[in-house]
Amino acid sequence: MTNTLLIGAQWGDEGKGKIVDFLSRDADVVVRYQGGSNAGHTIEIGADRYVLHLIPSGILYPDKTCVIGNGLVVDPLALVHEIQDLEKRGILSAGRLHVSDRAHMVLSYHKALDAGRESRATRGSKIGTTQRGIGPTYADKASRTGFRMGDLLDPALPDRLRERLAEKNVLLKDMGADLIDPDTLCREIRQAADFLRPYIGDTVSLLNTAYKAGKQILFEGAQGTMLDIDFGTYPYVTSSNPTSGGACVGTGLPPRAINRVLGVIKAYTTRVGEGPFPTELMDATGEHLRQRGREFGATTGRPRRCGWFDAVVARYSAMVNGIDFWAVTKLDVLDETETIRVCTAYECDGKRYDTVPACIATLSRCRPVYTDFPGWKCSTSGITSQADLPPNAKDYVKALCDITGVPLGVLSVSPKRAGTFRIAV
């Protein structure tokens, strides 16, 4: 039994969904532990493409138990949609999906507050959120004014919702945003409750029972280390802990239930939303990566900012997560690139940085120090084993591992299930 924790090691969208799907074959249980429907995890199987926002990516195997852990913030309406969509596509059978009664609920006023704040923010204070209500819901959780999925089963919920909404509508009014109608909110929530009732339960016990029975558990991180509220580029982050530490508090499983940590990294870097990005390319090379890598948000459709691989970020991620292996994705996107650059350190005000500075103003002024690698200028997307990689591609992947001090576990050269190679996990 080896339980694997899979972490995004950059700014999200590293290809976590695809790697979780790949590893799910060997797992019994796949569990998400943080975030919400801000996530967009893409899996391509043959001609079919699935984008999952709340449901773990293991769901595409018919025999896996999937859990939405207590650390998530769940939009009940979005979850109903996602379940119905999978049912329509013949994927979801009863009894396989479990939603924690402790997970907090994203309500329509959280989404309105998120959107309202973003639309009023001036340039420097805009975060570029997905507007899925994530920040306001985690804020309510911390303020002890939230509602949890288990509350959907409480007959007194409508009264409690109306009372809370009265407070939130004052904030919305101040922002000049549309107010939320209490009757609409209560109707929507009642309908969602009727639908979701069979899915909601005590996932902490369920997971611990599975753990004690020796079932193989795969933890699916969402977002990425640089979006972590503690370790990311604060304040340009999400409101949860995508890093390793989040996996225990977001599931109720103890630290010793995690046997290894797999960090997912693209062979280059992307970021969606605002905030510093030292290796960002604002030129034709950046545009080439965006087009070739189809770098458009799986949740919002926004173009992703693209840049060179940042080994400072990767080393930092390896440190804070305790990464045992890399899963390197999207190597094929570099197939046509003449010279590939890797940032090995930053420079700011004459000082060299080998790790990510906490101060956002400093990070914003950091300039990358690059090492160049020759491209391979041929297609890798059809290859069927690591041994078939062109020599320069092999050297590039080896360099990423050497510079970061983390060995290669999985390599991916295509969005499809095929085109993923297991090296050491």
118, two tokens = 């973003």
Q: For ligand GDP, what does the binding mask look like between residues 19 and 48, x meaning CB under 6 A?
A: ---------------------xxx-x----
Cβ neighbours around 230 below 10 Å, total: 12
Contact string (CB under 6 A) for ligand IMO, positions 181-220, x = contact = ----------------------------------------
Grouping H, G, I as helix, E, B as strand and the rest as coil, residue 381 is coil
CB 130 within 8 A of CB 40: no
Cβ distance 339 to 326 under 8 Å? no
| Segment contacting ligand GDP by CB under 6 A, of 11-19, 243-251, 275-283, 383-391 | 11-19
Task: Rule CB under 6 A: say whether 303 interacts with ligand IMO.
Answer: no
Tell me whether residue 201 is exposed, middle or buried, using C-beta atoms within 10 angstroms of its C-beta: 0 to 12, 13 to 18, 19 or more. Answer: middle
Q: Which does 279 bind (CB under 5 to 8 A by kind): ligand IMO, ligand GDP, Mg ion, none?
A: none
Residue 51 vs 172, nearer CB to Mg ion: 51
DSSP state of 155: T
- Residue 343: CA count within 13 A, CB half-sphere: 28
Smallest distance from the beta carbon of 8 to ligand IMO, in angstroms? Answer: 5
Interatomic CA distance for residues 42 and 388, integer angstroms: 26
Q: Are strands 420-422 and 408-412 parallel, antiparallel or unpaired?
A: antiparallel
Q: Identify whether 372 is a catalytic site residue.
A: no
Closest CA to 221 of 347, 152, 317: 317
Structure tokens of 231? 């370790």
d(CA 367, CA 352): 10
DSSP type of residue 126:
-
Strands 351-353 and 97-100: unpaired
Residue 38's binding partner, choosing from ligand IMO, ligand GDP, Mg ion, none, with beta-carbon cut-off 5 to 8 A by kind?
ligand IMO
Task: Give the one entry of ligand IMO, ligand GDP, Mg ion, none that residue 130 binds, where binding means its C-beta sits below a cut-off of 5 to 8 angstroms depending on kind.
Answer: ligand IMO
Is there binding between residue 333 and ligand GDP (CB under 6 A)? yes
Task: From the list ligand GDP, ligand IMO, Mg ion, none, pick the one residue 413 interacts with, judged by a Cβ distance below 5 to 8 Å according to partner type.
Answer: ligand GDP
Active-site residue flag, 104: no
Given the rule CB under 5 A, which residues bind Mg ion? 13, 40, 298
Residues marked as catalytic:
13, 41
Binding site for ligand GDP (CB under 6 A): 8, 12-18, 40-42, 44, 294, 298, 329-330, 332-333, 412-415
Question: Which residues form the interface with ligand IMO (CB under 6 A)?
Answer: 8, 12-13, 38-41, 127-130, 132, 134-135, 222-224, 227, 238-239, 272-273, 298
